[in-house]
Amino acid sequence: MPTLNVINLAGEQSSIQAEVGQTLMEALRDNDFDEIEAAYGGGRACAACHVYIYHSWLEKVGARGIEEEMVVSCVDSFQENSRLSCQLALTEQHYGLVLSIANQD
């Protein structure tokens, strides 16, 4: 199971277990990161699962999709390393991924 390193809004880091095939949003939700609203349930319409991927991991995570780009670039908290966690399906490649949770609004 991939281990992910997550930094929450308070700046606290923790390691969580995720399953291959889950989306990153599902893994965060299952691990009780209540900062992740996941309001649209993975429909890439709301940016309520917005995270920042640490730059050293951006290559492995890959570029944003066109729709994802459109949505996440609209929010006030958008950065170059922004991703919608609902759009990232976890694979073995993501063992050790480091990310922080963005403000969901």
Partner 1 sequence: MARTEEYALGEYTFPRGWFMIADATEVNQTPQAIRYFAQDMVIYRGESGRVVVIDAYCPHMGAHFAKNTSSYVVLDGEQVQGDSIRCPFHGWKFSPEGNCEEVPYSPVSNPPNACVKSWPVVERAGCVFLWHDPEGEQPDYDVPVLPEWDDANWVQWKIDHLGEIDCHPIELVDNIADKAHLTPIHGSSEAQYFENVFDGHIVIQDFAAGHRTLASEVLTNYTWYTGPGILMSRMGGDYESIIQICHTPVEDGQVRVWHALLVKSADASNPDKGIAYAREYQEVSRLALMQDYEIWANKNPCFQLLKVIGDGPFGQVRRWYKQFYDPREEALKIQEKCNGRIVTKGTVRDPWPEKKS
Which residues would be at the binding site for partner 1 (CB under 8 A)?
9-10, 35, 37, 39-40, 45-48, 66, 69-71, 73-78, 103-105
Cβ proximity to partner 1: between 21 and 74 the closer is: 74
CA distance 40 to 38: 6
For the bound state, the minimum distance from the C-beta of residue 47 to partner 1, rounded and expressed in Å, comes to 6
For the bound state, the minimum distance from the C-beta of residue 90 to partner 1, rounded and expressed in Å, comes to 24
Cβ proximity to partner 1: between 39 and 89 the closer is: 39
Q: Nearest CA to 5 among 96, 101, 94?
A: 96
Cβ proximity to partner 1: between 32 and 92 the closer is: 32
> How many Å from the N-terminal Cα to the C-terminal Cα in the chain?
30
For the bound state, the minimum distance from the C-beta of residue 25 to partner 1, rounded and expressed in Å, comes to 14
Cβ proximity to partner 1: between 58 and 63 the closer is: 63
Rounded to an integer, what is the distance from CA 52 to the centroid of its chain?
A: 7
CB atoms within 10 A of CB 43: 14
DSSP SS3 for 50: strand
